């Protein structure tokens, strides 16, 4: 295996290299699953509020179970937990593929499967975060965080475009079938890991363990502020992704256009991941965190504006792609910087629980889609998204003015 340096240094650890490589299968499947479920449900209902219900199903179970998933990640054998979650999601996606292919699928089927996958993800995400220290050396943590982000963002860049083509040529059932195969591949990868991960002997109950993680966050202001800001970013700032089928209709494009819009968010995120690496040793990391997320919000404003006047703009689709790309680029810079700060400062014995609380961040995007879908049901998707961004920018301004702890974060501060 070649020797990697700099931002790729985590890949020198064989277990992490295998885990990272295999994760492309499950993460790629996740991206395909999300876009295909949204398209299928909008096809069945033509309703923005239905997309909101899908977002709630894809987020609420994960939010609830992530709390206990973090405690479980600190108590059980992490390898076995990840094997179980991979098999469970594969089985659910095969079931949805069969229903879809046989024309028996109904809107509630799509929402139910999304909810069950969300429930399973509540165990999967914090376990993935908690397993990292067993796969790498501490000095390579920043590299591992960035590389993990590259998995998600590159898959967001490529897979939706591929999914759009598959849906146009065949149908959504084939996407779900391919997604199930992706999770089966991940199961095989995890099963083959040569790593010793014994369960920890913990006498306290899971509820007590969750409380312990929560108290750590509440008593450490940097953790409380960064996690809260991440929550707000996803809930108020990313609803446009959940409502993308509705924006696709406003832009008068097709399945492939829908795939390209979702892929644009992935392209932006990859660019953000590359760019932010140049600032990870900056004394002004706190300022970067605030500036990047504020700029992301402004770009989403522009995306909403372009789609609102799509019929009057000859290049509306191209502008929408541009602003979706820029919004995700700056959002990625914010998320990677934030997660790196947290990973380097959290005690190992609390990592699963604390990062489990942070993992709720990624479920809130879909939940924010429920609020946005409700607003859009009596106004429009652009108005709904602009409303959420207005609230979020107000939160950022308050944090920037009043919270010196965030402004003064430095990458050179010892963990």
Domain ranges of the chain: 7-193+206-407
Please provide the distance, in angstroms rounded to a whole number, between the alpha carbons at the two ends of the chain: 31
What is the pLDDT, as a whole number, of residue 355? Answer: 75
Q: What are phi and psi of 252, to 5 degrees?
A: 55, 45
Query: Which of the listed CATH numbers 1.10.10.410, 1.20.1250.20, 1.10.10.10, 1.10.30.50 matches domain 7-193+206-407?
Result: 1.20.1250.20
Structure tokens that stand for 190 in this block: 């995890």
pTM: 0.71
Residue pair 125/148 in contact (Cβ under 8 Å)? The answer is no
Cα distances (angstroms) measured from residue 86 to each of 18, 37, 185: 16, 19, 9
Q: How many CB atoms lie within 10 A of CB 394?
A: 12
Q: How many CB atoms lie within 10 A of CB 99?
A: 17
Q: Select from 184, 175, 147, 182 the least CA-distant residue to 262.
A: 175
What is the pLDDT, as a whole number, of residue 415? Answer: 41
Task: Classify the C-alpha dihedral 122-125-127-129 as positive or negative.
Answer: negative
With a CB cutoff of 8 Å and minimum separation 6, the contacts of 288 are 276, 279, 282, 333, 337
pLDDT tens for the chain, 415 residues long, are 556 666 677 777 777 888 888 888 888 898 889 889 988 998 899 887 888 888 888 888 888 877 776 666 667 777 888 889 999 999 999 999 999 999 899 999 999 999 999 888 878 877 777 777 777 776 666 677 777 777 877 777 778 778 888 888 888 999 999 999 999 999 999 888 877 655 555 556 667 777 888 888 888 888 888 998 999 998 898 888 878 888 888 888 887 788 888 888 878 887 887 787 666 566 777 888 898 999 999 999 999 999 999 888 888 899 999 999 999 899 988 888 888 788 777 776 776 678 778 777 877 877 787 888 889 888 888 999 999 999 999 999 998 888 887 777 765 554 4
């Amino acid at each position: 295996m070649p020797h990697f340096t700099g931002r790729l240094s985590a890949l020198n650890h064989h277990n992490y290299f295998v885990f990272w490589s295999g994760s492309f299968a499950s993460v790629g499947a996740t991206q395909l699953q999300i876009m295909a479920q949204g398209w299928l449900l909008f096809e069945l209902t033509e309703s923005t509020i239905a997309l909101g219900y899908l977002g709630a199903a894809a987020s609420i179970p994960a939010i609830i179970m992530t709390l206990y998933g973090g405690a479980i990640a600190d108590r059980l054998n992490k390898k076995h937990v990840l094997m179980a979650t991979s098999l469970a999601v594969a089985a659910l996606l095969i079931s949805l593929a069969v229903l879809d292919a046989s024309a028996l699928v109904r809107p509630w089927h799509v929402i139910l499967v999304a909810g069950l996958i969300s429930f399973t993800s509540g165990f999967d995400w914090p376990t993935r975060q908690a397993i990292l220290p067993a796969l790498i050396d501490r000095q390579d943590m920043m590299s591992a965080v960035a590389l993990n982000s590259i998995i998600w963002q590159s898959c967001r860049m490529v897979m939706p475009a591929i999914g759009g083509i598959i849906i146009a040529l065949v149908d959504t059932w084939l996407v779900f079938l391919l997604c199930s195969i992706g999770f089966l591949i991940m199961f095989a990868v995890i099963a083959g890991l040569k790593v010793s991960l014994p369960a920890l002997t913990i006498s306290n109950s899971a509820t007590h363990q969750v409380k312990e993680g929560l108290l750590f966050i509440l008593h450490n202001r940097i953790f409380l502020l960064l996690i809260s800001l991440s929550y707000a970013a996803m809930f108020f700032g990313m609803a446009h992704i959940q409502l993308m089928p509705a924006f696709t209709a406003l832009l008068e494009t097709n399945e492939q256009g829908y795939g390209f819009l979702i892929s644009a968010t992935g392209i932006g995120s990859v660019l953000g991941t590359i760019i932010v690496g140049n600032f990870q040793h900056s004394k002004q990391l706190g300022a970067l965190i605030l500036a990047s997320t504020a700029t992301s919000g402004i770009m989403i404003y522009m995306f909403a504006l372009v789609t609102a006047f799509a019929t009057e703009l000859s290049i509306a689709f191209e502008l929408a792609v541009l602003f979706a790309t820029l919004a995700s680029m700056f959002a990625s810079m914010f998320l990677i910087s934030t997660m790196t700060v947290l990973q380097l400062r959290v005690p190992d014995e609390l990592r699963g629980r604390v990062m489990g609380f942070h993992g709720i961040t990624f479920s809130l995007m879909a939940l924010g889609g429920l609020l946005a879908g409700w607003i859009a049901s009596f106004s429009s998707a652009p108005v709904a998204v602009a409303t959420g961004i207005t609230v979020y920018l107000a939160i950022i301004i308050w944090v920037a003015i009043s919270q010196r702890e965030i402004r003064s974060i430095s990458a050179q501060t010892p963990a």
